[in-house]
Structure 1
């Protein structure tokens, strides 16, 4: 019995050792395979990938599939770049080909308005000029939006005084506020935020322009800055016509115009462009409004990267 016990114990020990050796060898094989795949991926990331195993192993199959995937990805990347280049040329052509005719229409309508015209002709010239300006704004906005969406123009935010942004907006909007008799109040601030001055000015101007447009003569538009830990908030508040609750989620979509303002000039792209610009630099926009009691558009700009 003692001999049999020893034999059984020996068999168990040998089995355990064999299992341990098998596990160690398997783990070593797995580790080498993982290291090989990791090296393959590193080479693929660096653009130096080449197949090196040519047998029937699983690793060779993975290598071959990775090579095909990289080849397809490279081809897709080249095609995508080619399409972007085509879009870039198309946008440039549109901007170039439409600029001169529209400028000429505006010039000729201005020259006509300076002539002695009958009342009916003067009204027609005024309508022509107004529609030409509307077309000019639409094409300009669409070109800017297309350049943003295709990455032709990138927004490059850097730390800037928010007061500088507001001063730029004030200078651009004052002719409209003066002409309509709407008062504009901007509270001074010493807050800095990360923004692209040119593009953010355009975004905030579009919002303020809307506020002035939908505020009656004698009304007011107020702008103030509220700093938080991560963001600064720019509130643009008017006492205009307000926005119905069911429309507040729609006003930032492309070409949306409320039936309530169909008699007002506009193309429904200013707020959409503003939202796209702010999103591109890490900010966002919200609206709070009550129909008939004015609106507050809140622009949030990051204060830290």
Structure 2
């Protein structure tokens, strides 16, 4: 078996060889006087010093190598050690680099673990949301097959199944939008456009439900106001907020929409006179599938406001909410203004 000689061993061998040659030359050419014996002594001392230095250096090097190997092995196992005190030595510098590598790996693993938990939570949420309509469809379909019900009852069961199918269709459509937004499969075309047109489309979508509840929709917006936004997806975001407002506002009340151009953003206020939101739930309402306890009897899956925030945030905007329970809620949507380039 061929064994490679390490660099330190090779250097030590050459150094000792040189000392031996020096001693041999001294013995062959030198006279037997004090100077010759002094050279003998010097040569022997040099050999001993070389052996001692090699031993100390090799011991330190092996210890350092073992330490580095141990740290790397711990990294591969996912065990991350706290960084030691900083020292101005080669060993400490290499250790610091390993500590930085450890931090990077730890951060990467933490991100992967978080994403894994997010996916698991999403799958769990989706399964939970799909379970109810599917169970209802299965149950009422079985009841229709039994044949022990009147024509009127069968008609009611068929209506329930139809409603559950619509709910399932809406849920799947919402989940598709959510998935595409979260995975950045949707490309938002953010460009200057009239916000009045976008608001008009969103209000038109919400108009039918509002009319059923005799809710008055008011809008105050400059028709020529230009705002940076993706018209299609911003319409979706605004409609989700308006739909919630209509859903939780009593019959015969009012919902108002207004715009105000600020220096950097344009603010769109959507105000209702509905049931209101507790202050401690301001952030919760934007979470995926969150629904406050007092609204569980209303239709919905708790994904509309989550989608709205995702859409607005991806356009460089943001959403704020202010509310008083029993009096109403105002959602403020902020979108970037259009800035004209100055001509030289």
TM score, norm. by length of structure 1: 0.61
Give the aligned partner of residue 184 of structure 1: 217
Give the aligned partner of residue 264 of structure 2: 230
Give the aligned partner of residue 221 of structure 1: 255
Give the aligned partner of residue 280 of structure 1: 314
Confirm whether residue 137 of structure 1 aligns to residue 152 of structure 2.
no
Change (3 A) 1:118 1:222: farther
Contact 2:220–2:258, Cα closer than 8 Å, also in 1? yes
In structure 2, list runs of 5 or more residues that go unmatched: 1-133, 145-149, 340-344
Alpha-carbon offset, residue 120 of structure 1: 2.9
In structure 1, list runs of 5 or more residues that go unmatched: 1-101
3-state DSSP of counterpart to 1:235 = strand
* Match among 230, 234, 240 for residue 274 of structure 2: 240
Alpha-carbon offset, residue 181 of structure 1: 1.4
Change (3 A) 1:220 1:121: farther
Alpha-carbon offset, residue 208 of structure 1: 0.2
Give the aligned partner of residue 262 of structure 1: 296
Distance 1:132 1:201 in 2: 25
Confirm whether residue 162 of structure 1 aligns to residue 186 of structure 2.
no
3-state DSSP of counterpart to 2:285 = coil
Change (3 A) 1:180 1:119: farther
Q: Radius of gyration: which is bigger?
A: 2
**Greater displacement, 266-275 / 145-154:** 145-154
Superposed CA RMSD: 3.2
Confirm whether residue 297 of structure 1 aligns to residue 292 of structure 2.
no
**Greater displacement, 234-243 / 133-142:** 133-142
Distance 1:263 1:180 in 2: 17
Give the aligned partner of residue 230 of structure 2: 196
Q: How many aligned positions are there? A: 207
Distance 1:218 1:121 in 2: 34
Alignment of 1:1-305 (within 5 A): 118-189=151-222, 190-304=224-338
Alpha-carbon offset, residue 295 of structure 1: 0.2
Distance 1:281 1:119 in 2: 51
Alpha-carbon offset, residue 118 of structure 1: 4.1
* Structure with the larger RCO, 1 or 2 (CA within 8 Å, 6+ apart): 1
Distance 2:334 2:311 in 1: 12
3-state DSSP of counterpart to 2:155 = helix
Per-residue deviation, residues 150-183 of structure 1 (Å, max 9, x unmatched):
1211112100111011111122111111122111
Distance 1:234 1:125 in 2: 42
Distance 2:329 2:280 in 1: 14
3-state DSSP of counterpart to 2:301 = coil
Alpha-carbon offset, residue 266 of structure 1: 0.2
